[in-house]
Amino acid sequence: MSHIKISHSIKSNLQNSKNLLAFSAGVDSSALFFLLLEENISFDIALVNYNLRENSKKEELHAIELAKKYNLKCYTTQAPSFENNFEKNARDFRYNFFDKIMIENRYNNLLTAHQLNDQLEWFLMRLTKGAGTSELLGLEPISKRNSYIVIRPLLHHSKKELLDYLNSNNFPYFVDKSNFEEKYERNIFRKNFSDKLLSEYQEGIKRSFDYLREDKKNLLRGYREIFHYKEMYILTYQEDAFIIRLVDKYLKILGYLLSGNQRKQLKRDTSIVVGGLWAVEVQDNFIYISPYLKVAMPKYFKEECRKVKIPSKIRSYLYKEKVNPKDLLKLF
């Protein structure tokens, strides 16, 4: 029905899996909704209602009706009002909602409708703030988060292509007018830079992102994940240049995005707490990442950790999860 297709590599990850689509009733997620139907890929949908727009309730009802029409499950929730830092708070609320659904209902993949315009906007925003290859890309077609996989099937397609697809097939969608409000930094980049660049150089921009993804893979080959238990990771690396990239990669898996100041702190310090939530310790070419806890531990446990050279900020999580420090000795 359309020249827009889901790539074979992505499709192979979706088939015979339990998939949840992050749905908003807007252009991007509506296009992905109907593409998934065309490809006979099974999925359900989840929608967060922020109650900020005139059509918010209509969009939610539309999602419920679509799900009923195509025999899908539809999960919805009402977001509270956020007095400040809306984009971050809204994102955190949204992903906490998705996390809960994914875990409780044992979904394998979370599908998001990020597209080429989103990728370029992120790239330009990071470029103007200072970023390396790994940070410039931001959005990956397939990435891990907590206990599930996040898949973005539309990163090779522009907003215009998705609009043309919907209109040519008379598929319903809503237009989010907040995408045009310049109080959001992303919208400023969209209006002044990314949309104009894509209108002139779309194919070249697509190729550039493909090359950057290959470069990113090569940059991160000099490490190994040697231990993973629940929310704890131990990595070994070859060069100090990998440290920030690896911490960034694994905190994203755990659902946390590093700020610019936190990256600077990682350059200075080998033992930090990120956002009051995550302990990061760098010691003897090993990186330790775990939730940061303050738990009273018996002396014998502290002594066992000391013998195995487990960094101090990691020990409380090991104790809480009943991990024997001696079991880690064989890793080193």
Tell me what pLDDT residue 2 has: 52
Tell me what pLDDT residue 1 has: 44
CATH 3.40.50.620 placement within the chain: 8-212
Tell me what pLDDT residue 10 has: 96
Identify whether the C-beta of residue 272 lies closer than 8 Å to the C-beta of residue 265.
Answer: yes
Pairwise CA distance, residues 328 & 317, whole Å: 14
Number of H helices, E strands in the chain: 14, 11
Pairing relationship of beta strands 286-291 and 271-274 according to DSSP bridges: unpaired
Please enumerate, as own/partner, the contacts of 121-130 that have beta carbons within 8 Å and a separation of 24 or more.
121/186, 121/189, 121/190, 121/194, 123/209, 124/189, 124/193, 124/194, 125/185, 125/186, 125/189, 129/260, 130/260
The residues of the chain scoring below 70 in pLDDT are 1-2, 332
What CATH number does the domain located at 8-212 have?
3.40.50.620
Cα first-last separation, the chain = 55
Tell me what pLDDT residue 84 has: 84
Q: What is the DSSP letter of 193?
A: I
Can you say how many angstroms the Cα of residue 282 is from the centroid of all Cα atoms in its chain? 24
Tell me what pLDDT residue 271 has: 97
Tell me what pLDDT residue 322 has: 95
Helix (H, G, I), strand (E, B) or coil at 108: coil
Identify whether the C-beta of residue 87 lies closer than 8 Å to the C-beta of residue 184.
Answer: yes
Q: Quote the pTM value.
A: 0.82
Identify whether the C-beta of residue 310 lies closer than 8 Å to the C-beta of residue 323.
Answer: no
Scan for tokens 């790239």, then name that residue: 123
Pairwise CA distance, residues 171 & 166, whole Å: 5
